[in-house]
């Protein structure tokens, strides 16, 4: 059996920045610091930061007065920002800059007098944050079917923005439906969807050409990780989402000659290593990296932590 690792895989620049933000805040201000929502969708990362003194909460009401508070990489609504201000909580914003870019794009379109359509998954933290950042008429759609149900006149000026972790293909289909139904549509290019999402999806498509089975390392609540597994399935391959090496089932690879392994943008490389070791225990294997794009993107830490 051969094991081929996707390239790129795992942590993206936004996730690295978010984790570094929490660690730097702990160094600068001391434990505990409070983080609203999971900083990224990965239990291993969250537990590691908890051990260093981070405290994760879902609501700001759980944060003691005066405690340093960090907003997660997914972003938050203005309501949450205003609540923090009203309580005079010292806050640090770890929102991924590419999510902030979506917020800014949406505001520009609304300022132009356009009705905004946001393509995303209802209930996802990034979606809730974005919906709460943009004033004006705004509609959430998840599918082509949702586009057909929009209560908007066909000649109304509209614009769209997208959740950063969506499938490029699924987004392209929804955008095409918007252009079919409405006569005045503006929106960012497909390439403006998160670079890391696109790169990892492209890598899985390449991996599916040379593998018999695909294993994606990521959390069950990670949107981009779930989409990587779906892409493998769409290519006709048995594809599995695992948290780590303990989830590997020997039956999955019983008849496989080549197993492809990738990881979502919030999954650390240590978990990829665990999966590889679990596969090696089933059958000693040759491990190699698929040739692919080498990412060099990095984001600066929040200003509060640079001094």
Q: For residues 10 and 265, is the Cβ–Cβ distance under 8 A?
A: yes
Within a 10 A sphere around the Cβ of 57, how many other Cβ atoms?
Answer: 14
Give every strand in the sheet of 138-141, ordered side by side.
Answer: 138-141, 115-119, 157-162, 184-186
126 is catalytic: yes
DSSP secondary structure string for all residues of 231-300 = HHHHTTS-EEEESSGGG--GGGGTT-SEEEEEE-TT--HHHHHHHHHHHHHHS--EEEEPP--------P
Residue among 38, 81, 126, 274 flagged as catalytic = 126
Residue with tokens 């290519």: 235
Residue with tokens 């620049």: 13
Strands (E) located in 58-106: 69-71, 91-93
Pairing outcome for strands 115-119 and 138-141: parallel
Q: For residues 34 and 55, is the Cβ–Cβ distance under 8 A?
A: yes
Strands (E) located in 121-252: 138-141, 157-162, 184-186, 213-217, 239-242
Residues with catalytic roles:
126
């Amino acid at each position: 059996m051969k094991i081929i690792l996707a390239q790129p895989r795992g942590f993206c620049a936004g996730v690295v920045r978010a984790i570094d933000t929490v660690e730097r805040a702990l160094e600068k201000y001391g434990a505990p610091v409070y983080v609203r929502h999971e900083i990224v969708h990965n239990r291993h990362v969250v537990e590691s930061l908890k051990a260093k003194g981070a405290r994760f909460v879902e609501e700001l009401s759980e944060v003691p007065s005066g405690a340093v508070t960090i907003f997660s990489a997914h972003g938050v609504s203005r309501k949450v920002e205003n609540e923090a201000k009203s309580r005079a909580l010292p806050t640090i914003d770890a929102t991924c800059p590419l999510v902030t870019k979506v917020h800014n794009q949406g505001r520009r379109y609304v300022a132009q007098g356009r009705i905004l359509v946001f393509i995303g998954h209802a209930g996802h933290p990034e979606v809730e944050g974005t919906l709460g950042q943009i004033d004006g008429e705004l509609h959430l759609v998840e599918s082509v079917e949702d586009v057909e149900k929009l209560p908007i006149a066909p000649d109304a000026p509209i614009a769209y923005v997208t959740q950063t972790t969506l499938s490029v293909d699924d987004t392209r289909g929804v955008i095409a439906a918007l252009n079919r139904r409405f006569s005045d549509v503006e929106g960012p290019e497909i390439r403006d969807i998160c670079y890391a999402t696109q790169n990892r999806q492209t890598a899985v498509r390449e991996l599916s050409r040379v593998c018999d089975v695909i294993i994606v390392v990521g959390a069950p609540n990670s949107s981009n990780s779930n989409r990587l597994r779906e892409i493998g399935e769409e290519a006709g391959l048995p594809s599995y989402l695992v948290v780590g090496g303990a989830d590997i089932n020997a039956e999955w690879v019983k008849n496989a000659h080549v197993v492809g392994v990738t990881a979502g943008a919030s999954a650390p490389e240590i978990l990829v290593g665990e999966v590889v070791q679990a596969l090696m225990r089933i059958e000693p294997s040759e491990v190699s990296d698929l040739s692919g794009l080498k990412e060099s993107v990095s984001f600066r830490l929040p200003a509060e932590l640079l001094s």
